[in-house]
């Protein structure tokens, strides 16, 4: 299945470059350097304490943004290697794709977007780009990580036309309907393979999803039955993991096969042709349909489960209250952030809140309001399976 570097792969020697010119490295490719810069940055370490689906303190075994990002990177690299794409670039994109996430996952982002409506809103994906372009402070002569165009292009998965117009060459493709590199397309689909599968695992672990209900979902049911046929009597956690690893395997194999087919059909031989579109990385239509059925199920049964929703509405309130407190009294902010407010206004408050981990936001909210977290899901979501292997 392995392939040599393909002619349509992104080439680190022919990158469209960094925003600030830098001398090359004697030991690493430009995309390797990007991956390394991401792993060493502060926002990357914060991912450990940011919600994927379950708030960080609810249990030690649930995915966090960090372990999610590592799983995305693993899947993306496997696919990239088979397709002859640049593995360092897909890894860099995968590790950076969620750097802009607020505390408390999508609930936090929705709340912050609501607060920021009068000042251009808040998009976590755009914020990921803002982290690597502006917010990280690690280099003597520029803000941000000064990543290559190809890495930044991959990080920016989606973007409203209004924001795209402000982003120069990086925003062009959203206005012109063009595609990013295949490395970016693969990282994007690896993201969905990772969360569809780990959310099943976390959903079952939490007790919010049942095996019986999942068995009615074709992709899961098929592999669950196959695992049982291969290992009669298998049960519990081993059966779940045996099912999930088969699902990931099939999704990855399907993605590689369909993408190869589309590349051949389109006769694509360069990254420029890749960018002209249409999208080349894709699941086959039957697999797309099954993945969609699974995603609808997770949406209804897990992400909108009343217990998850109760925790998330508390999280939304925390973010909104933090925003209002800082806005009405910037003196509550640390010096550095207060100084930024005088230059950037509300955007600086959004940057500060978006950078918070779940537990920092909870502590900061308690400090400012005197009200503790008072977790409505406590004892239901958390703790139940801490001792399980």
Q: What minimum distance in Å lies between the beta carbon of 195 and Mg ion?
A: 6
**Which one, 191 or 254, has the nearer CB to Mg ion?**
191
Residues near Mg ion (CB under 5 A) are 98, 191
Tokens of 118: 């009068």
Q: Is 199 helix (H, G, I), strand (E, B) or coil?
A: helix
**Which one, 112 or 322, has the nearer CB to Mg ion?**
112
Distance of alpha carbon 2 from alpha carbon 233, whole angstroms: 36
Q: What minimum distance in Å lies between the beta carbon of 341 and Mg ion?
A: 29
Q: What minimum distance in Å lies between the beta carbon of 98 and Mg ion?
A: 5
**Which one, 6 or 75, has the nearer CB to Mg ion?**
75
C-alpha neighbours within 13 Å on the C-beta side of residue 12:
20
Sequence-distant (6+) residues with CB within 8 A of 357 are 46, 48, 49, 50, 56, 103
**Which one, 98 or 150, has the nearer CB to Mg ion?**
98
DSSP string for residues in 287-307: HHHHHHHHHHHHIIIIIT-HH
Distance of alpha carbon 97 from alpha carbon 184, whole angstroms: 10
* Separation of CA 201 from chain center: 17
Q: Is 148 helix (H, G, I), strand (E, B) or coil?
A: strand
Q: What minimum distance in Å lies between the beta carbon of 252 and Mg ion?
A: 17
**Which one, 98 or 183, has the nearer CB to Mg ion?**
98
- Can you list the positions of beta strands (E) in 171-319? none
Sequence-distant (6+) residues with CB within 8 A of 128 are 96, 97, 98, 99, 100, 101, 155, 156
**Which one, 88 or 191, has the nearer CB to Mg ion?**
191
Tokens of 130: 């803002």
Tokens of 149: 């165009």
Q: What minimum distance in Å lies between the beta carbon of 65 and Mg ion?
A: 8
Q: What minimum distance in Å lies between the beta carbon of 197 and Mg ion?
A: 13
Q: What minimum distance in Å lies between the beta carbon of 192 and Mg ion?
A: 8
Tokens of 263: 């590349």
* Separation of CA 382 from chain center: 23
Taking CB atoms, the residue at the shortest distance from Mg ion is: 191
Classify residue 132 by its DSSP letter.
I
**Which one, 179 or 188, has the nearer CB to Mg ion?**
188
């Amino acid at each position: 299945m392995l392939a040599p570097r393909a002619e349509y792969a992104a080439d680190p020697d022919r990158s469209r470059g960094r925003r600030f010119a830098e001398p090359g490295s004697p030991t690493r490719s430009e995309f390797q350097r990007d991956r390394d810069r991401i792993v060493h940055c502060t926002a990357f370490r914060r991912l450990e304490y940011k919600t994927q689906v379950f708030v960080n303190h609810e249990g030690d075994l649930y995915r966090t943004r960090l372990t999610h990002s590592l799983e995305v990177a693993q899947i993306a690299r496997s696919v990239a290697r088979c397709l002859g794409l640049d593995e360092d670039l897909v890894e860099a994109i995968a590790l950076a794709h969620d750097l802009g996430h607020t505390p408390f996952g999508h609930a936090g982002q929705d709340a912050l977007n609501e607060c920021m409506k009068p000042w251009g809103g808040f998009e976590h994906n755009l914020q990921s780009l803002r982290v690597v372009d502006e917010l990280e402070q690690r280099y003597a002569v520029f803000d941000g990580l000064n990543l290559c165009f190809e890495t930044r292009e991959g990080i920016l998965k989606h973007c409203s036309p209004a924001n795209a117009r402000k982003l120069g060459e990086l925003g062009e493709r959203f206005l012109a309907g063009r595609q990013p590199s295949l490395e970016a397309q693969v990282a994007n689909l690896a993201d969905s393979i990772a969360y569809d599968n780990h959310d099943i695992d976390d959903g079952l672990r939490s007790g919010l999803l049942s095996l019986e209900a999942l068995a009615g979902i074709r992709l899961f049911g098929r592999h669950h039955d196959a695992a049982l046929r291969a290992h009669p009597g298998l049960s519990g956690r081993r059966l779940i993991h045996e099912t999930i690893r088969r699902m990931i395997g099939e999704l990855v194999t399907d993605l590689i096969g369909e993408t190869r087919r589309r590349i051949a059909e389109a006769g694509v031989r360069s990254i420029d042709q890749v960018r002209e579109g249409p999208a080349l990385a894709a699941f086959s239509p039957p697999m797309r349909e099954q993945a969609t059925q699974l995603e609808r199920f997770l949406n209804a049964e897990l992400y909108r489960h009343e217990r998850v929703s109760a925790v998330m509405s508390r999280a939304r309130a925390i973010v909104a209250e933090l925003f209002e407190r800082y806005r009405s009294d910037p003196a509550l902010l640390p010096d550095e952030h207060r100084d930024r407010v005088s230059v950037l206004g509300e955007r600086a408050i959004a940057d500060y809140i978006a950078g918070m981990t779940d537990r920092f936001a909870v502590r900061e909210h308690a400090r400012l309001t005197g009200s503790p977290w008072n977790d409505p899901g406590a004892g239901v979501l958390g703790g139940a399976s801490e001792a399980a292997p």
